[in-house]
Amino acid sequence: MKEKSLLYNLFMKYLGEDGEEEEAKQETPLSDHGGDDKQEHMHDGGEAIPQETDGELSEQPDIPRKTEPEPLIETVEDWNEAELQKQRELDARSRGAEEPDSDEMPAEPEEEIVPSRDASLELAITDDKMKATMMVWEPEGDGADITEEALYKALQEKHITYGIDEEKIRDIAENKRYRQLFVIASGKPAKDGTSGKIKDFFPRQVQLKYATKQNGGIDFKNMNLIHNVKEGDVVCQITRPTDPEDGMNIYGQPVRGRQGAMPAIPQGKNITYNEDGTQLVAACEGNLTFRSGRFHVEKVFEVAGNVDNSIGNINFSGSVFIQGDVFEGYEVRAKGNITVMGMVEGAALIAGGDIQLQKGMRGMHCGVLEAGGDITAKFLEDCTIHAGSNIQAEYIINSQVACENNLTLVGRRGAFIGGSCSVYNEMNVKAVGAASHITTSVTLGATPQLIAEAEKAAQEIREVSEQMEENRKNTAWLTEKQNRGSLTPVQQQRLSALNLEASVNKLKQRQLQSKAAQLAKQIREVGRTRLQADEVYPGTIICIGDSRLVVMDKEDSVSYYYLDGEIRKGMR
C-alpha cells in the first residue's frame, strides 16, 4: 500500500488537485449527485472543463497538454511494470516475437536445434508412362546419404521395372548428385507401320494436250484425249504397308504400334495384278480411263457426239464407236473396228478391223476408208476405199475402190458408177456405169495392192541377191588372204561376220522367193473371178488378167469371167 499511495499522490499532484479531495471524489459515486448539480469533467486532452456554481463559472488554471490522449481514470495496476512486461511478452509471442522496446534489454537468442533428416527423392512420371525423372535432396543434420538400395526401392514402390538406367543410379549414389534432375527410366517407344502408297503412271484426269505441227504451229485436231495401253503395261506401282513394332513402357506393359494405312487400290475393269502383287497392269489393249476411283481399260472408245473440234482426231488401240457424225478434215484411227452412226464427210477412217457406216460417206474427193476387214455402208461417194476383205453398200459413185475379196452392191440402186474398182474375187452388183456413158473401170483378179505387194517382194529379192553377191566377193578375197597366212585379226573378225551374214541372207532370200511365188500365183489365178450385173452400161472397161474389154452396148443380166486367156461373157 505504500507503493500504491506514493504513485497515487504523484498522479494527483500531476492533476493539480488535493489528494484527499480527489480521493473523496473517487469514493463518491457519480450517481449520487443531483440532477441540478453538474460535475466537472475532464477533456480528452486533460484540460479542465469549467463548472457552473451558483450561476457563475469558475475557471481552473491551465494545465499542459500531452501528445497522446489518456483515459479519464487509470489505476495504479495499469502502471505496474511487471504487468506491462508480461503483457509485452504475450503480445510478442502472439505476433511472432516483436522487437523489444528500446529501453529494454534484448532477450538472448535461443540456440536453433536442426533436426536430422535422411536424403530424400522425388519421382515424376510422364503421362504416356514412357519416362521417369528423379531429383534427390541432400540429407540434413546427421541424416544418411542416398544409396542405390533406396533408389531401387523408390522405383519398386512405383512399380517401375523397365528401362531403368542402372549406371545413372550408381552415379547418383556414389557421387552424391543432389538437386539435379535425371531421367532414371525410359520406355521403348513403339514404331508405327509405314503406310502403303500408290504411284500412278497415267493421269487420272483427262487433260487436253495439243500436238505441234511440223511448222511449229498448234494442231488443234490432235488433243491426245486417249491413253492407249497394251497388254501388260504397268498402270500403278503398289507399295504395301509395313507391320508395326510394339514397344514397352516403364511399367513393363506393351505399347502397341499403329498399323500402316493402305490407300484404296484403283483396280477396275481389265486391270490385273502382276505375279508378286506389286503392280497393276493392263489385262488387254485399249483406252485407259479413270472413273469412280478406279482405272479401267476400255476396249471400245465411245464418242457420245460428233467428231469435231471438241474431240479432235482419234487414235485408239481398240475399237471406236461414234454416236454422231465425223466432220471434214478429221481422222479416226483404230486397231479394232470403227462404227459411225451418223454421216462421214471428207474425213479419214483407218481401222485394223471392220468399218461400219450406218448412213454413208460423202468423201468430197478427200475422204478415205481403209479397213483390214470388211467395209459396210449405205453409200460411198467421192472417196478412196480399200478393204482387206469384203465391201458391201447400196451404191458407190466416183470412188477409187480396192477390195481383196468380194464386192457386193445391194438395195434399191445397187450401182457402181464412175471411178475404178479392183476386186480380187467376185463383184456382184445391179448396175455398172450409167446411161450417160460415164467411164467406169472394173479390174478383176489382181488388185493394185496385190500387184504392189508382188512388186515390193521382187524388189527385196533383188536387193538381197545383190548383197549376197557383194558378200561373196569379200569372203573370197579374205579367204585367199587367210590361206596365205596374211590375214590380220580385224580381217579375221570381218570374215567371220560375212560368213554369218551369208547364212542370214540365204534364209531371207528363200522367204522372199516363197512370198513372191505365192503372190504371182494369186495374180495368175483369175479363173474364179467374175463380174455379175443386171445392167452394164457403155463406157464400162473390164480388165481380167492380161485381157481388157470395153463395153460398147448395154448388157443385161450378164456375167464376165476369164477363160483361155480372154474375157468371156455369159448369162447371169
Residue 320 grid cell: 471406236
pTM for this structure?
0.57
Distance (Å, rounded) from C-alpha 188 to C-alpha 251?
11
DSSP SS3 for 450? helix
Residue 107 grid cell: 532477450
In this prediction, residues 212-220 reach a mean pLDDT of 67
In Å, how far from its chain's centre is CA 182? 44
Q: What is the pLDDT of residues 134-164, one digit of tens each?
A: 899 888 888 888 888 989 999 999 999 999 9
Q: What is the pLDDT of residues 297-335, one digit of tens each?
A: 988 888 989 998 888 889 888 899 999 999 999 999 998
Do 530 and 426 contact (CB within 8 A), yes or no? Answer: yes
Distance (Å, rounded) from C-alpha 293 to C-alpha 300?
20
Q: What is the mean pLDDT of the chain?
A: 80
pLDDT value at 94 more than 70: no
pLDDT value at 190 more than 70: yes
| Least confident window among 55-64, 304-313, 403-412 | 55-64
pLDDT of residue 533: 93
In this prediction, residues 51-77 reach a mean pLDDT of 46
pLDDT band (50, 70, 90) for residue 107: low
Amino acid at 570: G
Distance (Å, rounded) from C-alpha 406 to C-alpha 564?
23
Q: What is the pLDDT of residues 469-492, one digit of tens each?
A: 888 888 888 888 888 888 888 888
pLDDT value at 106 more than 70: no
Please provide the DSSP assignment of 222-284 as one string. Answer: ------EE-TT-EEEEEEPPPPPB-EE-TTS-EEPPPPPP-PPP-B-TTEEE-TTSSEEEESS
pLDDT band (50, 70, 90) for residue 391: very high
Distance (Å, rounded) from C-alpha 381 to C-alpha 568?
30
Please provide the DSSP assignment of 489-529 as one string. Answer: HHHHHHHHHHHHHHHHHHHHHHHHHHHHHHHHHHHH--TT-
pLDDT value at 55 more than 50: no
Please state at what angle helix 489-524 crosses helix 448-484, rounded to 10 degrees: 150
Residue whose grid cell is 457420245: 304
For residue 556, the number of C-alpha atoms closer than 13 Å in the C-beta half-sphere is 0
Residue 288 grid cell: 485407259
Residue whose grid cell is 579367204: 479
Please state at what angle helix 19-27 crosses helix 2-15, rounded to 10 degrees: 100
Q: What is the pLDDT of residues 427-478, one digit of tens each?
A: 999 999 999 999 999 988 876 677 778 888 888 888 988 888 888 888 888 8
CA-based nearest residue to 425, from 407, 410, 452: 407
Residues 6+ apart with CB under 8 A from 530: 426, 427, 444, 559, 560, 561, 562
Q: State the CB neighbour count (10 A cutoff) for residue 565.
A: 8
